[in-house]
Amino acid sequence: MTQAFKVAAIQMVSTPEPQQNFDSASRLLGQAAAQGAQLVLLPEYWPILGRHERDKLGHAESDAPGPIQSFMAQLARQHGVWLVGGTLPMAAGSDGKVLNTSLVYDPQGQRVARYDKIHLFSFSRGEEQFDEARTIEHGSQVVTFEAPFGRVGLSVCYDLRFPELYRAMGDCALIVMPAAFTHTTGQAHWELLLRARAIENQCYVLASAQGGLHVNGRRTWGHSMLVDPWGEVMSVWPEGEGLVIGDIDPHRLQYVREGLPALRHRKL
């Protein structure tokens, strides 16, 4: 792979109504494909961001094509793109809980990878109270897949705060980060953490976020972005629906790694 490979991150403000979210995702993915995107990333919770944390349980799918999975496969096939499907609720072993799962489809619409979010978010400040462990069961497997330009590492939202996850992925050309960061934590740490993960792993980071005020009153930070291996922000979409689009450049990747061979200098 010596040619640049165009990637896109879709930013949404998802609602409690899956069909509305399907329509938004379809429209935005079509725009990304029309601009030449070959890999597209959807945000965390893109199919449903309910009024209550338990709403997603009613939309959980089994490890077989349901409405959400079929929709993503069809989108990938229709537009001939690699689709990293943000996250959707998948059936878990525990009663009353789901897995927060990221699925990857190739341009033929075939599923090629599944990652269940490992780290579960908890935050308490004033009226902001979050505890994903109430309704989500954590995953346990580090997952990567091979794209035409190299290895892609899968992670989701709160995973961003755990650098050991990314070290366990090995040599990645790209890390993807679908998220629904809160406005409070996103304003403080989102860009800083994305750039840190890009710098320390000397790879591109593509982040697709929820970004706005949702029906349930939650406000997400947005600022979907593409960061290069030197930690430079190549493109960002601050708030509301939109697209971030840019190139994975293998020459840039090689230039950064040869000039500062930190990955080869690791001792631990």
Closest residue by Cα to residue 259 from 227, 232, 235, 229: 229
Q: Which residues are catalytic?
A: 44, 117, 157
CB of 159 closer than 8 Å to CB of 137 = no
Q: Which of 203, 123, 174 is nearest to 8 (CA)?
A: 174
188-196: which pairs have CB atoms within 8 A and are 24 or more residues apart?
189/161, 190/221, 190/223, 191/223, 191/225, 191/233, 193/160, 193/161, 194/160, 194/225, 194/227, 195/227, 195/231, 195/233, 196/163, 196/231
